[in-house]
Chain A
Amino acid sequence: MSSNEAETEDAGSIVLWNDAHPGPDMISTRTLGFWLYMLTDAMLFASIFTAYAILWHNNAGGPGAEQVVHLVPAFVETALVFASVFAFGIAMAALKRGRQGSVVRWIGVAFLLGAGFLGMEIHEFAALAQQGIVPERSGFLSSYYTLVLTHGLHMLFGLLWMAVMVAQVLRQGFTEGVVYRLLNLRIFWHFQALIWVFIFTFVYLQGKL
C-alpha cells in the first residue's frame, strides 16, 4: 500500500511536530456526535416498530387497529408536525443571517405548533383510555400506545429543548455552544418528523386499509 510509504525522505525538511495544526472545529465535531446519537435513536425506534409489526394483529378479541386509529386527526397532527419543522427551518435561515429576534420568534412558532401536535395526541389517547381501550387490554394496544407515545415523549423533549434554546439565545447570543445546540436541535426535530411519517404510514394508514 502506498500509504505505508513516507512522502519525504529528506530528514532535514521533515516536520515531526506540527505546531500549526488547528485541531477539529467544535461545531462540526459536536454535530457529528449528534448524528451518531440519532443513529442510536433510530435503532431504538426500529426495535419498537418491530414489536408493533409483530403484535399489531394480536388484539386478543379486543379492538383492532381499525377501531382505534382515526385518520382525520392524524392528518391534522401530520400537518402540525410538518409546519413546526418548517418554522424551525426558517429559524435556522435566520440563524445564518445572525438575526437573534427572528430566530427566537420562529422557534416560538415551531414550539407552539409542536405543542399543538402534542395536545392533540394527548387528547386522542385520553379519549381512548376513557372508552376502556387501554394498553393492558392486548398486545396490539400495548405496542400501539408504546410506539406512538415514545414518539410523543421525543416531541415533548424537543419542546423542552426549544425552551432552553430560546433562553440561551436571549442570554448568550450566538456563541459556538449555542449554535451547535441549535443545529443539533434541528437534526433532532427533523428526525422526529421523519419518525412521524413512518408512524402515520404504518400505524394510521395501514390500520385503516
Chain B
Amino acid sequence: MLVHLQGPWSPLIGRLSLHQIPYHNPIILGAFAFAVAIGLALFAGVTYTRSWRYLWREWLPSVDHKKIGVMYILVGLVMMFRGFIDAVMIRTQQLMAVGPKSAGHLEALHGYIPPFHFDQIYSSHGTIMLIFAVTPILVGLMNIVVPLQIGARDMAYPYLNALGLWLTTAGAALVMLSLYLGDFSHDGWIGLTPLTELPYSPGVGVDYWLWAIQIGSVGTTLGAINIIATIIKMRAPGMKWLRMPVFTWCAMATNLIVISAFPVLAGALFLLALDRYLGTHFYTAALGGNVMLYTDLFWVWGHPEVYFLVLPAFGIMSEVIPTFSRKPLFGYTTMVLAALGISGVSWSVWMHHFFVMGAGPDVIAFFSMSSMAVGIFTGVKVFNWAFTMYRGRLRFDTPMLWAIGALSFLFIGGLTGMMLAMPAIDYQVHNSVFLIAHFHSWLMTISFAALGGISYWFPKVFGFKLDEASGKRVVWFWIAGAIIVFTPMYILGFMGMTRRLDYVSHSSWYPLLVAEQVGIGLFCVAAYYQFKQLYVSIRDRHSNRAEADAWGSTRTLEWMTHSPVPFYNFAVIPQIHARDEWAWRKERGLTRLVPDRFQDIHLPKNTYVPAVLGAVAFMFGFAMVWRIWWLAACALLALIGVVVWRSFHKDTGYVITAAEVERMERAYLEPEPDAIGEEAPVGEPAAGVVASTRMPSRQSVGG
C-alpha cells in the first residue's frame, strides 16, 4: 500500500538523518542563531522576573477566552515577523538578480538565494502570512471581544477554545521546524498540482506544508464552531439579533465561512496526502487523476478564506470608526446584511482564480459577475463608514489612523479586484505581479485593521494604553512603505513581470525594483517602531492607565466592565436595552458599574489537557512528515485516548462565591491608596506578556 520512496528510510526514525539539518547554509544558520538568541533572551527574562510558575499555572492551562485570545495574537505576531523576514528576502533577491550580468553569491547563479531555496521562501511567506499570522491575530481578537460584546462570562466551550489555540500553535511550530530540519514546500502556498505529487516533490517540504495546514485548520474550525455557538447561545438578556454589535455580526458571518469552507480544504489536502503516502491517483497527471480537481477544491476553500480574513477586519473598522467619530455607526442594518452577503457570495466566486483554465464563456461569465457582486456589498460598507465620519467630531488616535489606512487600501484593492474580475483583463495579467499587488493591497487592509484592533482593545485587556507617539510612527511608515512597494508592483505587472521570479531577466525593470526595495526599508522602520511601542508602553504602563471606557467615546458592551477585564468579565450579567448599550447608558447617566447585589459565578477550571493534545498533534504531524509510522500511530492513539479519558471527568467547573466577587469588585472600584501604581501581586510582566494587573486570576487547576 505504501508508496516506494526515493532515498533512505528506516523503521525507527523514518526519513530523518543528520543530512537533513541545513548546517551548510549560512542564511539558515543565521536565522537559527537569531531564534536561539531570542529564545535565550525570553528564557532569561522569564527567569529573571520569576514568572515560570505564573506562566505555567495561569497561561498554559488557561481556558479564559481573554488569555487564549492574547496567546493567539502572540503566535500571530511572531509568525508575522517570520513572514516579514521572508518578504524582505524575496525583495532583496529580486533586486540583486536583475539581468544576466548580476552577480551571484552563496551558491546562487544570480542574487544570493538559489532557486530551490527561493521557492521555499515565497511558499512559506504565503502560508505563514495567511494561515499562521493574520488568521490567529483575527481569531484572537474575536476570542477576546465577542464574549465581552455580547455580555457573556466566557465562550460556549472554553475547553475547546484552548484546544483550538494549541492546535493552531502546533501547526505554526511545524512550519518553524521546517526551517531547521529538512525543507519547506517549494510549490507555492497554494500547492500547485501535480508539482506537489511525490515524483516531482520527493522531499519532506510538501509534507510539512500539508500537515501544518491540516492541523492548524482543525484548530481554526473548532474555534469557529465555538464562536458561532457562543453568539447564538450566550447573549445577555435583552440582546436581540439586531442589537448585536457589528463586530460580533462580522464574527458570525466570518465563522459561518470557516465551518463551511475549511472542511473542503481538509478534504483536498487529505486526498493529496493519500496520493503522496499511499500512491492513489486523485491529482496525478496519469492513470485517471485530475489536476484541476485539486485546483477547484483548493479555491473552493481559498476564496472564502479571503473573506474569512476580511470580514473581521470590516468588523474592527465598524467599531473603531464610530468611536473616534463620536457618532453611531451609519446604516447598521445594511452593514449586517452586507457582512452576511459577502459571506454568502464568497461561495460562488472561486473559479476567478483560474479563468485561464478555459471553462467556456457561460461559466466564466457567471463567475465574473458573481465576483463583481462582492463589490456591491463592500461598497455599501465603504459608504457607511464614510457617512459615519461625515460631520463626526473626528479624533485621530492610532486605531483611527489604522482604520483610515485600511479604508484607503480597500479602495485600491477593491478597484483592482474589479479589474481582475473581468476575464479579458484577467487573461492579460494572470499570474503577474499585478495580481500580487492586488491581493497584497487587500492584505494591507486586513493587517491595518488587525493592528488597529489590537491597539483599540489593548487597554481593555491589559488596563493601559499603547504608546501613541511610536504607534503613529508605525502607522505612517507602514502605510508609506506599502504605497512605495505596491505601486511599482502594479506597474511591473502591467509590464509583464510574472510572479515567483528568482531571476529578473529585464534590466529595464531595475529602477522600479529599487523603489520596491525602498518601500520594504520603510516597513523595516515600521517594525522597529512596533517593537519600540511595545517596550515604551510596558515601561510607562503606570502613567497610561485606562479607565473602563478607555477612549471616552466608546459605545459597545465590552467597555462597560473594568479595564483590565476581570477574569469573570461581568460581576453580574448586564440587561441590554439598546443597540449601543454603553452609549445608551451614558446618555442617561446610568454609568455606575456596581450592581445592587452580587451572585455566585460558575466558571470552568483550568486544564492542561488542551496543551497536551496540541503537543501530541505536533508529534503526529512530525511523525507523518518524516514517515515514522510507529510514532504517528502512538500519537494518534494518544490523541484518541486522552479525549476519551477526559470525557470521563465530571468535575470541570468551580464556583466563586458572591462575597468573593464583591471583594474583588471593590478592589477595582476603590483601590487601596498604596496599591495605586504598585506592582501586580500575582504576575510580573514577563518578556512581552503582561499580566492582568492587580486582580488575582483563577487559581484552581483541574485534570
Binding site for B on A (CB under 8 A): 1, 3-8, 11, 14-19, 21, 23-24, 28-30, 32-33, 36-37, 39-44, 46-48, 50-51, 54-55, 58-60, 134-140, 142-143, 145-146, 160, 164, 168, 171-172, 175, 177, 181
Given contacts A3-B243, A8-B577, A18-B575, is CB(A142)–CB(B274) below 8 Å?
yes
Q: Are A139 and B260 in contact (CB under 8 A)?
A: no
Given contacts A18-B574, A36-B229, is CB(A142)–CB(B280) below 8 Å?
yes
Q: Are B279 and A181 in contact (CB under 8 A)?
A: no
Which of these, B232, B233, B279, contacts A136 with CB under 8 Å? B279
Q: Are B290 and A164 in contact (CB under 8 A)?
A: no
Which of these, A3, A41, A44, contacts B579 with CB under 8 Å? A3
Q: Are A146 and B274 in contact (CB under 8 A)?
A: yes
16 contacts across the A-B interface (CB closer than 8 A): A3-B242, A3-B243, A15-B575, A17-B575, A18-B572, A33-B156, A33-B160, A33-B229, A36-B228, A43-B263, A43-B267, A44-B267, A139-B288, A142-B275, A142-B288, A160-B644
B window 274-304: CB within 8 A of A:
274-275, 278-282, 284, 286-290, 293, 296-297, 300
Stretch of B74-82, B421-429, B507-515, B592-600 lying at the A interface: B592-600
B264: chain A residues at CB < 8 Å are 43-44, 46-47
Q: Are A54 and B290 in contact (CB under 8 A)?
A: yes
B210-224 vs A, CB cutoff 8 Å, 1 = contact: the mask equals: 000000000001000
Which of these, B229, B236, B267, B281, contacts A32 with CB under 8 Å? B229
User: Does B411 interact with chain A (Cβ within 8 Å)?
Assistant: no
- Closest chain A residue to B280 by CB distance? A142
B window 218-249: CB within 8 A of A:
221, 225-226, 228-229, 232-234, 236-238, 240, 242-243
Q: Are B650 and A172 in contact (CB under 8 A)?
A: yes
- Closest chain B residue to A2 by CB distance? B242
* Complex Cα–Cα for A7 and B575 (A): 12
B356-397 vs A, CB cutoff 8 Å, 1 = contact: the mask equals: 000000000000000000000000000000000000000000
B296: chain A residues at CB < 8 Å are 50
Q: Are A16 and B229 in contact (CB under 8 A)?
A: no
- Closest chain A residue to B571 by CB distance? A17
Given contacts A16-B590, A46-B264, A47-B268, is CB(A139)–CB(B287) below 8 Å?
yes
Q: Are B288 and A140 in contact (CB under 8 A)?
A: yes
CB distance from A57 to the nearest CB of B (A): 8
- Closest chain B residue to A143 by CB distance? B282
Q: Are B288 and A58 in contact (CB under 8 A)?
A: yes
CB distance from B386 to the nearest CB of A (A): 21
Q: Are B271 and A33 in contact (CB under 8 A)?
A: no
Q: Are A136 and B278 in contact (CB under 8 A)?
A: yes
Q: Are B644 and A44 in contact (CB under 8 A)?
A: no
* Complex Cα–Cα for A16 and B593 (A): 9
Which of these, A33, A135, A177, contacts B226 with CB under 8 Å? A33
A47: chain B residues at CB < 8 Å are 263-264, 266-268, 297, 300
Given contacts A19-B597, A32-B233, is CB(A142)–CB(B282) below 8 Å?
yes
* Complex Cα–Cα for A29 and B278 (A): 40
- Give 17 new A-B contacts, CB below 8 A, not counting A3-B579, A54-B290: A1-B242, A4-B579, A8-B577, A18-B574, A21-B575, A28-B233, A36-B228, A43-B259, A47-B266, A59-B288, A136-B280, A140-B288, A142-B288, A145-B280, A146-B274, A171-B648, A177-B650
Given contacts A1-B332, A3-B579, A47-B268, is CB(A139)–CB(B281) below 8 Å?
yes
* Complex Cα–Cα for A171 and B649 (A): 12
Q: Are B156 and A19 in contact (CB under 8 A)?
A: no
A4: chain B residues at CB < 8 Å are 242-243, 332, 578-579
A28: chain B residues at CB < 8 Å are 233
User: Does B584 interact with chain A (Cβ within 8 Å)?
Assistant: yes
* Complex Cα–Cα for A45 and B682 (A): 49
* Complex Cα–Cα for A45 and B570 (A): 41
CB distance from A16 to the nearest CB of B (A): 6
Given contacts A6-B578, A18-B575, is CB(A55)–CB(B293) below 8 Å?
yes
CB distance from A205 to the nearest CB of B (A): 22
The bracket for how many chain B residues form the interface is: 35 or more
Q: Are A29 and B229 in contact (CB under 8 A)?
A: yes
User: Does B333 interact with chain A (Cβ within 8 Å)?
Assistant: yes
B579: chain A residues at CB < 8 Å are 1, 3-4
B window 249-272: CB within 8 A of A:
259-264, 266-268, 270-271
CB distance from B140 to the nearest CB of A (A): 20
User: Does B458 interact with chain A (Cβ within 8 Å)?
Assistant: no
Closest 6 CB pairs of A and B: A139-B288, A58-B288, A47-B267, A142-B280, A17-B595, A43-B263
Q: Are B573 and A40 in contact (CB under 8 A)?
A: no
Given contacts A1-B332, A6-B577, A59-B288, is CB(A36)–CB(B259) below 8 Å?
yes
A142: chain B residues at CB < 8 Å are 274-275, 280-282, 288-289
* Complex Cα–Cα for A143 and B274 (A): 10
User: Does B157 interact with chain A (Cβ within 8 Å)?
Assistant: yes
Q: Are A60 and B288 in contact (CB under 8 A)?
A: yes
User: Does B585 interact with chain A (Cβ within 8 Å)?
Assistant: yes
A160: chain B residues at CB < 8 Å are 640, 644
Q: Are B648 and A168 in contact (CB under 8 A)?
A: yes
Given contacts A1-B242, A139-B281, is CB(A44)–CB(B266) below 8 Å?
yes
A11: chain B residues at CB < 8 Å are 588-590
* Complex Cα–Cα for A137 and B221 (A): 34
Q: Are B290 and A58 in contact (CB under 8 A)?
A: yes
CB distance from A151 to the nearest CB of B (A): 13
- Closest chain A residue to B262 by CB distance? A40
CB distance from B255 to the nearest CB of A (A): 9
CB distance from A91 to the nearest CB of B (A): 18
Which of B229, B279, B297 has its CB near the most chain A CB atoms (within 10 A)?
Answer: B229
User: Does B10 interact with chain A (Cβ within 8 Å)?
Assistant: no
* Complex Cα–Cα for A21 and B601 (A): 12
Which of these, A14, A21, A143, contacts B590 with CB under 8 Å? A14
- Closest chain A residue to B658 by CB distance? A19
B578: chain A residues at CB < 8 Å are 4-6
Q: Are B271 and A146 in contact (CB under 8 A)?
A: yes
- Closest chain A residue to B241 by CB distance? A3
* Complex Cα–Cα for A37 and B584 (A): 37
Given contacts A17-B596, A33-B225, is CB(A54)–CB(B293) below 8 Å?
yes
CB distance from A51 to the nearest CB of B (A): 6
CB distance from A135 to the nearest CB of B (A): 5
User: Does B647 interact with chain A (Cβ within 8 Å)?
Assistant: yes
Q: Are A39 and B229 in contact (CB under 8 A)?
A: no
Which of these, B233, B289, B588, B597, contacts A29 with CB under 8 Å? B233
* Complex Cα–Cα for A40 and B281 (A): 25
Q: Are A40 and B225 in contact (CB under 8 A)?
A: yes
Q: Are A29 and B297 in contact (CB under 8 A)?
A: no
B506-542 vs A, CB cutoff 8 Å, 1 = contact: the mask equals: 0000000000000000000000000000000000000
* Complex Cα–Cα for A14 and B592 (A): 13
B288: chain A residues at CB < 8 Å are 55, 58-60, 138-140, 142
Q: Are A24 and B271 in contact (CB under 8 A)?
A: no
Q: Are B575 and A168 in contact (CB under 8 A)?
A: no
A16: chain B residues at CB < 8 Å are 574-575, 585, 590, 592, 595
* Complex Cα–Cα for A24 and B147 (A): 14
* Complex Cα–Cα for A59 and B648 (A): 47
* Complex Cα–Cα for A153 and B263 (A): 16
B297: chain A residues at CB < 8 Å are 47, 50-51
B596: chain A residues at CB < 8 Å are 17, 19
A6: chain B residues at CB < 8 Å are 577-578, 584
A42: chain B residues at CB < 8 Å are 263
* Complex Cα–Cα for A34 and B1 (A): 34
Which of these, A24, A137, A145, A168, contacts B233 with CB under 8 Å? A24
Q: Are B234 and A24 in contact (CB under 8 A)?
A: yes
Which of these, A19, A44, A50, A58, contacts B599 with CB under 8 Å? A19
Which of these, B268, B332, B333, B573, contacts A17 with CB under 8 Å? B573
B226: chain A residues at CB < 8 Å are 33
Which of these, A37, A51, A60, contacts B225 with CB under 8 Å? A37
A23: chain B residues at CB < 8 Å are 153, 234, 573
